[in-house]
Amino acid sequence: MRRIQSLGGWFLAIVLPVLVADQVLKIWIKLSFSIGQQRDLIPGLIELQFIENEGMAFGWALPGMAGKLLLTSFRLVAAVGLGFYLRRLLKDGAHLGLLACISFIWAGAIGNIIDSAVYGALFSRSTWGVIAEFLGEGGGYAPILMGNVVDMFHFTARWPSWWPIDGMRSHEIFPPIWNLADAAISIGVITLLISQRRFFAEPVEKEISESATSSEGAEA
């Protein structure tokens, strides 16, 4: 497998495809669904359900307009920081798996930033029974940096009635509604947590190997 050596290469390989898929789906949902509208994908397992949230992944939010602005600003700083971090990892010859994880997280962060930053200015407000318009006559529903994130995936599977934990029976296994950007972040973070020992061991092992080679050369 050919190793991608540049930040632009990783952007084209992972970040851009995730962003395109995320934004195409969000725009389609925004212009085709009213708030709360549902459509089954796999009955009893997963559906499309359009909601908008002012917060983080899976609908978690900070209260108030100040919280919204703080969250969007944090996303922007985090996305820039992730780009610099990925560039540094490339220079250090980091494990391919680590580079892929950071690229997925970066893609998800940028995807949700786009919603927060510009959707409020580009679309009219989505409401119950009313589908939004793109660049409508009435203008957007919020200023720049104050838009809402579009979410649409909802797991409808429920814990079975025989489940031993009483308070969980017949409740949804995973209630939050999410989007592809959230999924990209989750894939990156979960894989990173599971494989961190392998991902971070490679540069150390490489450094030890190079030190040993240098020592052998010096002794010779």
Q: Judge residue 132's burial from the number of C-beta atoms within 10 Å of its C-beta, 0-12 exposed, 13-18 middle, 19 or more buried.
A: buried
> Residue 185 in contact with residue 105, Cβ under 8 Å?
yes
Q: Radius of gyration over alpha carbons of the chain, in Å?
A: 22
Q: How far apart are CA 144 and CA 45, in angstroms?
A: 36
Nearest Cα to 54, choosing from 69, 38, 44, 43? 69
pLDDT digits (tens, 9 = 90+) for 20-33: 999 999 999 999 99
Domain range summary for the chain, segments of one domain joined by + = 7-159+171-210
What pTM value is reported for the model?
0.84
pLDDT digits (tens, 9 = 90+) for 121-180: 999 999 999 999 999 888 999 999 999 999 999 999 999 989 999 889 889 999 999 999
DSSP-derived pairing of the beta strands 177-178 and 38-42:
unpaired
Q: Judge residue 208's burial from the number of C-beta atoms within 10 Å of its C-beta, 0-12 exposed, 13-18 middle, 19 or more buried.
A: exposed
Q: How far apart are CA 214 and CA 220, in angstroms?
A: 10
Q: Judge residue 218's burial from the number of C-beta atoms within 10 Å of its C-beta, 0-12 exposed, 13-18 middle, 19 or more buried.
A: exposed
Active site members: 151, 182
Reduced 3-state DSSP string for 11-30 = HHHHHHHHHHHHHHHHHHHH
In this predicted model, which residue has the larger pLDDT, 70 or 48? 48
pLDDT digits (tens, 9 = 90+) for 66-111: 777 888 888 899 999 999 999 999 999 999 999 999 999 999 999 9
Average pLDDT over residues 44-48: 96
Backbone φ, ψ for residue 33 (5° rounding): -120, 145
